[in-house]
């Protein structure tokens, strides 16, 4: 195996490991996150962000998420410091 091929394989393995770590860190399913992002996108077109997670918490309660505090903490840890920043910064993490 050439050095170039080996480096490419290592990069691929590192990306896969990072993706697996990301998936295991999620406090709710990808599908639930997708629903949250869609809800925030639609709602924030009509309402201004209040610089908090009020819309997020409302949505999480609506769909029966019992660990809403953990989800909000995870969002904050991933640069989602309010509803609009969740949409702007966190949604892109799911597009990788």
Q: Tens digit of pLDDT for each residue in 37-76? A: 999 999 999 999 999 999 999 999 999 999 999 999 999 9
Is residue 64 assigned to a domain? yes
Is residue 17 assigned to a domain? no
- Determine the structural domain holding residue 77 and report its residue range: 28-95
Which pTM does this prediction carry? 0.84
Number of domains in the chain: 1
Contact 37, 60 (CB under 8 A): no
Contact 65, 32 (CB under 8 A): yes
Is residue 62 assigned to a domain? yes
Tally of CA atoms within 13 A in the half-sphere of 26 that contains its CB:
18
**Residue 50 burial (CB count, 10 A):** 11
Is residue 79 assigned to a domain? yes
Q: What is the spatial distance between Cα 82 and Cα 96, in angstroms, rounded to a whole number?
A: 22
Beta strands in the chain (DSSP E): none
Is residue 73 assigned to a domain? yes
Is residue 70 assigned to a domain? yes
Is residue 51 assigned to a domain? yes
pLDDT in tens, 76-96: 999 999 999 999 999 999 986
Q: Helix, strand or coil for residue 45?
A: helix
């Amino acid at each position: 195996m050439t050095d170039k091929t080996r480096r490419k394989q290592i990069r691929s393995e590192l990306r896969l490991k990072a993706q697996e770590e990301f998936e295991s860190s999620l406090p709710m399913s990808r599908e639930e996150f997708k629903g949250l992002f869609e809800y925030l996108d639609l709602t924030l077109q009509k309402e201004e962000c209040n610089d908090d997670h009020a819309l997020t918490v409302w949505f999480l309660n609506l769909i029966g998420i019992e660990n809403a505090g953990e989800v909000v903490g995870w969002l904050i840890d991933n640069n989602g410091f309010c509803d609009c920043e969740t949409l702007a910064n966190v949604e892109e993490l799911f597009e990788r």
